[in-house]
Amino acid sequence: MVRRVAVLLAGMLLAWAAPARAQVDLPALNAALIDGHVAPGYARFATAADGLDDAVGALCAAPTEAGLAAARAAFRGAVAAWSGVQHLRLGPVEADNRYHRIDHWPDRKNAVGRHLARAVDQADQAPVDPDRFRQGSVAVQGLPALERLLYGPDHVAALMAGTGPGRCRVATAITANLAALGGQLAAEWAGPARRPFLHPGPGEALYRTPKEVTGDLVGAFGAGVEMIRDLKLGRVLAADGATRPQRGEWRRAGLGLLALRDSLKAQADLFHAGLDTALETLDDDGALGEAIQSELAAALRLTEDLGDDLTAVLADPDGQRRLALLSSQLSGLKELAAGDLRGALGLGIGFNAFDGD
């Protein structure tokens, strides 16, 4: 018994001492992912949120059809930019419920609708106090509430007719809030938020080693793929083929497919910000990198030429078939991201660390 244990132990020790053939420079990889993907993504969102604030401000100053079209175009730009960082739940967006203040979704019990109605009622009576707005319900502070104001027929009719000041007061409070949040996130990623990611150490609260940082950044890749599959697709297309378009993301604005596609592009952007070249330095014939690349490309191809609106795609049998295919494609991609990619980078599979309960 003891001898058998010793033999097994020796084997384990060897495996332990040489955990990975990876010769990847993890600090350099982390910097590449932050500088090439994370920080630019938030910078784009900040710009889009500023544009949205301007366009909604102009619409509310003078409600015209052209102004409405411009505000909606800016909203589309903000949704696209948000989709570029929506999979990231690390860093400054963790603080003060910022993530949910930008995007309270999924909204199962219509908190957005209920809280928005109340906010509009109150704003009809008195101007919105920015501090109270910021500290109030997260459901009414972000893009989903603004979507209702810019696309919900009753809201739009009242807003264009200038019926009561409430809608515009809330709409501009939302866009000011989004512009402020976007600015804060971009500024923090350009400054102090980088530190724990680029300079992890024993004294740092967030990360002790570069490997932990890489683990979270690679985790964001897998989690992003899972988010697209489970939320953006899974909520509207059940495994049994049933469709529920009313649950779709940005369904009022008809931007569900645009957002899905931009989320997929964000995963590709994250991968190509440095994970691809990191894999090339490994001695595996480039097989894994190529596999992930081709899965990403195949997933994106399935969403091409389908327009912006997810509801329309769900109504079409061929569209449904493509989305079902996309879902299984994403499951394959998730396996590669959570398993093979981690293994190749010497991060460990993180069976418990990254998929615990």
Partner 1 sequence: MNRRTFLAGAGALALMTKAGGARAATPGFLCTAQRPDGRAAALAFDADGGLRFALDLPARGHGAVVSPDRRHLVVFARRPGLEALVVDAATGAPRHRLRVPDDRRLCGHGAYAGGRLFTTENDFEGERGMLGIWDPARNFERVGEVPSGGIGPHEIVSLGDGLAVANGGILTHPDSGRQKLNLPTMRPVIALFDATGAPTRRVEAPWDLHQVSLRHMTAGPNGDLWIGGQFQGDRRRRVPLVARLGAGGGLTYLPAAEAPLRHLRQYCGSVVLDSSGTVVAISSPRGGAVTFWDARGGAYMGSVDLPDVCALGALPQAGRFVAGSGGAGLCAVAVDAARPRPLARQPMGLSGAEIAWDNHMVAL
Chain residues binding partner 1 by CB under 8 A are 1-2, 5-6, 8-13, 15-16, 90, 94-97, 100-101, 104, 106, 108-109, 138, 196, 202, 205-206, 208, 212, 226-227, 229-231, 234-235, 238, 247, 348-353, 356-357
Report which residue type is found at 206.
L
Q: How far is the CB of 256 from partner 1 (least distance, A)?
A: 15
Q: How far apart are CA 235 and CA 245, in angstroms?
A: 8
As a whole number of angstroms, the distance between CA 115 and CA 174 comes to: 13
Q: Cα–Cα distance between 171 and 191 in angstroms, integer?
A: 30
Q: How far is the CB of 340 from partner 1 (least distance, A)?
A: 12
Dig out the tokens for 180 from the structure.
């402020």
Tokens of 292: 């992930």
Residue number, 29 or 228, with CB nearest to partner 1: 228
Q: Least distance from C-beta 6 to partner 1, angstroms? A: 5
Smallest gap from Cβ 105 to partner 1, in A, equals 9
* Min CB(138)–partner 1 separation in Å: 5
Beta-bridge partner residues of 237: 243
Residue ranges of alpha helices (H) inside 62-142 are: 65-83, 98-102, 111-125, 130-135
Q: Based on CB atoms, which residue is closest to partner 1, 41 or 91? A: 91
CB of 85 to partner 1, least distance (A): 17
Nearest alpha carbon to residue 330 among 297, 295, 355, 304: 295
Q: Give whichever of 136 and 307 is closer to partner 1, judged by the CB atom.
A: 136
Q: Phi-psi category of 88—alpha, beta or left, where left has phi over 0 and alpha has psi -120 to 50?
A: beta
Between residues 62 and 242, which has the closer beta carbon with respect to partner 1?
242
92/166 with CB nearer partner 1: 92
Q: Which is closer to partner 1, CB of 5 or CB of 161?
A: 5
Question: Using CA atoms, how far apart are residues 269 and 41, in angstroms rounded to an integer?
Answer: 10
Instruction: Tell which residue, 179, 206, 180, 182, has the closest CA to residue 193.
Output: 206
